Amino acid sequence: MDRLPRVLLRPALIKDGVADSEIRRDCRSGRLLRIRRGAYLPGDCTLSPEARHALLVTAEVARLASDSVVSHVSAAVLHGLPLWGVPLDRVHVTRARSSGARTGPIVRVHSAPLSAGEAIRRGEVRVTSPARTVVDLARRASFESGVVTADAALRAGLVTRTELDRTVLRVAGWPGAPAARRVVDFADGRSESVGESRSRVAIWEAGLPAPTPQWEIWHQGVLLGRTDFAWPEQGLAAEFDGRVKYGRLLLPGQTPGEAVFAEKVREDAIRAAGWMVKRWYWDDLKNFALTAALLRAALAAR
């Protein structure tokens, strides 16, 4: 998580001589951004939804009961894990109690056991461990959302498959445990982005054979490139093109346009070596039927 701006709390503003009328005026004018009642940011802040949620957690955690542990989507944000399709309107915390779960306008309190290793500290905040966070999220979110976060946790080395398996066994019998089991079994740290994780789910939901992620294609002893997905026996390679990756792949002094051209040269070389290459984009993931049909036809042709 990038360095976040300081949250301005009402008591501190009042102490500094700022009247409530001035706070209201500054909120109307945009000089202050209201995170929640009594917590504000400078109006010139440009924040992602995840960063804004992290600040909401920071603003709220001091008001929570001492046994509250930041969890679920809130813990995922603090661990720097990507999320997909999950709301960030409430701070989620878990208390190791048998009852007391509740949902308020800002905070959702979960009641569930927490072992000693499942509550750790990130700075001044107590937060569920990465493995517990992934499993808790997978118990309550969609399969696609759970896979996105589980893949990223494995890829970043925040969790191991053994830790995830152990945590899933620990929550056996809890609400959503079977869903978490499916996510953990499907998770693959070779997926390098949200789009690649969502693509694997879309391929699976279409009933297509599972591809091999990050497959290296060699020809006559030369590495032609690595593709996001491959069905090696059928000679079919596939790429999710989120465009963002061209920024990640830039060499020193290389422009995005040059990176796109280099990608085209790489793909032409792979085709010349006898491989078929299919490519899809963010919009294709909204309705994967056409892409799935093209992949199915390509697999059948080989």
Amino acid 242: pLDDT? 67
pTM over 0.85: no
Average pLDDT, the chain: 88
- Reply yes or no on whether the pLDDT at 9 is more than 80: no
Amino acid 246: pLDDT? 47
For the chain, domains (ranges, CATH) are 1-47 (no CATH), 48-189 (no CATH), 195-300 (3.40.960.10)
Contact 94, 75 (CB under 8 A): no
What is the C-alpha separation between 260 and 250, in angstroms, rounded? Answer: 10
The CA-based angle 135-137-138, given to 5 degrees, is 60
40 bridge partner residues = 8, 34
Q: What is the mean pLDDT of residues 146-165?
A: 97
Q: What is the mean pLDDT of residues 174-184?
A: 97
279 bridge partner residues = 239
Amino acid 257: pLDDT? 61
pLDDT band at 200 (very low <50, low <70, confident <90, very high): very high
pLDDT tens column, 55-107: 888 888 878 888 899 999 999 999 999 999 999 989 999 998 878 788 888 89
What is the C-alpha separation between 224 and 246, in angstroms, rounded? Answer: 17
Enumerate residues 6+ apart whose C-beta is below 8 A from 75.
92, 127, 128, 132, 133, 136
Check residues 226 and 47 and name the one with the higher pLDDT: 226
Contact 77, 54 (CB under 8 A): yes
- Reply yes or no on whether the pLDDT at 152 is more than 70: yes
**Burial label, 251 (beta-carbon count in 10 A; 0-12, 13-18, 19+):** exposed
Amino acid 248: pLDDT? 54
What is the C-alpha separation between 172 and 164, in angstroms, rounded? Answer: 12
E strand residue ranges, the chain: 8-9, 32-36, 39-42, 68-70, 91-95, 102-103, 107-111, 119-122, 125-128, 212-219, 222-231, 236-240, 276-280
Asked which of 114-118, 182-186, 235-239, 286-290 is least confident by mean pLDDT, the reply is 114-118
What is the C-alpha separation between 194 and 144, in angstroms, rounded? Answer: 10
